[in-house]
C-alpha cells in the first residue's frame, strides 16, 4: 500500500463551550522542523491563550506521530486531535488547537469533545490530496539505446531529479513504489543499461 492522503490547504475550525473558545488550525507539514515553526508562529499569534494543544502524523513508509496536551489533563486534548487525523487517514498533517479559557471548567469529557469537534471542523474544510510513497532510482545507459529507454520511462509517472548527457546518459528520479518491479522488467533485456534503486 503506497497511497496516502494529506491536506493541501490550512483550514481553521472553531468550537465554543461555556465561554471557552477552541480555535483549530490544520497544516500540511513534512518535518519536525516545520512543526516547530508552525507552533512558534501560533504561540506568537495567540500569545494570550492558555493552551496550544496539538497532534501530528508525518511520513509515508515510516510514520512518526505525537500528541501533546500542553497542560490540559492527560489525554484530554492531544489524543482527540490525533484521533481525528487518523479517522481521515491523513499523514503529513499537523493540527493545533488554541484554547482560551472561559472561566468554567469543562471536565475531561467536555475537553475531549471540544478538542475533537474543533479539529473535526477544521479537517472537514481541508482540501484532501493523494500522495504516493516513492523509490529513488538512477539509470545509466548508452546513447545507442536512448530512444528505447525514454520510451520505456514514458510509460511511468516519474519525477525527474537530474538528467545528464555526457559520455553516456544518467537519469535520476522518483518512481511510485509499486512501479519498481515493472520498470526493472521493462529494461532488463535492454543492453548498455544499468538501473539502480535506492532503499
Q: In this predicted structure, what is the pLDDT of residue 117?
A: 98
Distance in angstroms (rounded) separating the CA atoms of residues 97 and 94: 10
Domains and CATH numbers, the chain: 3-130 (3.30.230.30), 133-197 (3.30.70.260)
Q: In this predicted structure, what is the pLDDT of residue 2?
A: 74
What is the CA angle 29-116-86, rounded to 5? 50
Q: Are 93 and 63 spatial neighbours (Cβ–Cβ below 8 Å)?
A: no
Distance in angstroms (rounded) separating the CA atoms of residues 66 and 46: 22
Residues 6+ apart with CB under 8 A from 45: none
What is the CA angle 96-101-104, rounded to 5? 135
pTM, to two decimals: 0.78
Q: In this predicted structure, what is the pLDDT of residue 27?
A: 97
Question: Within 13 Å, how many C-alpha atoms sit on residue 38's CB side?
Answer: 24
Q: In this predicted structure, what is the pLDDT of residue 199?
A: 65
199 residues of the chain, pLDDT tens digit each: 578 999 999 999 999 999 999 999 999 999 999 999 999 999 999 999 999 999 999 998 778 999 999 999 999 999 999 999 999 999 999 999 999 998 889 999 999 999 999 999 999 999 999 988 888 999 999 999 999 999 999 999 898 999 999 889 999 999 988 899 999 998 888 888 999 998 6
Q: In this predicted structure, what is the pLDDT of residue 131?
A: 87
- Residue 104's Cα: distance from chain center in Å? 36
Distance in angstroms (rounded) separating the CA atoms of residues 181 and 116: 42
Q: Which residue has the cell 471542523?
A: 121
Q: In this predicted structure, what is the pLDDT of residue 100?
A: 96
For the chain, give the number of residues.
199
**Over the range 169-180, which residues count as b (16 or more CB within 10 Å of their CB) and which as e?**
bebebbbbbebb
Amino acid at each position: 500500500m503506497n497511497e496516502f492522503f494529506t491536506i493541501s490547504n490550512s483550514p481553521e475550525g472553531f468550537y465554543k463551550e461555556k465561554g471557552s473558545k477552541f480555535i483549530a488550525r490544520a497544516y500540511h507539514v513534512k518535518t519536525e522542523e516545520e512543526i516547530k515553526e508552525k507552533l512558534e508562529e501560533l504561540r506568537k499569534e495567540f500569545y494570550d491563550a492558555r493552551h496550544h494543544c496539538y497532534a501530528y502524523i508525518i511520513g509515508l513508509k515510516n510514520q512518526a506521530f505525537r500528541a501533546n496536551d500542553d497542560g490540559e489533563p492527560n489525554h484530554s486534548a492531544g489524543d482527540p486531535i490525533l484521533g481525528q487525523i487518523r479517522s481521515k487517514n491523513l499523514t503529513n498533517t499537523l493540527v493545533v488547537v488554541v484554547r482560551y479559557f472561559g472561566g468554567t471548567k469543562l471536565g475531561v469529557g467536555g475537553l475531549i469533545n471540544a478538542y475533537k469537534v474543533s479539529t473535526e471542523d477544521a479537517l472537514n474544510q481541508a482540501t484532501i490530496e493523494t500522495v504516493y510513497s516513492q523509490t529513488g532510482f538512477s539509470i545509466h545507459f548508452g546513447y545507442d539505446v536512448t530512444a528505447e529507454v525514454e520510451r520505456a520511462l514514458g510509460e511511468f509517472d516519474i519525477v525527474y531529479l537530474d538528467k545528464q548527457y555526457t559520455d553516456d546518459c544518467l537519469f535520476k528520479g522518483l518512481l511510485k513504489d509499486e512501479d519498481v518491479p515493472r520498470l526493472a522488467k521493462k529494461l532488463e533485456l535492454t543492453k548498455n543499461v544499468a538501473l539502480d534503486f535506492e532503499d
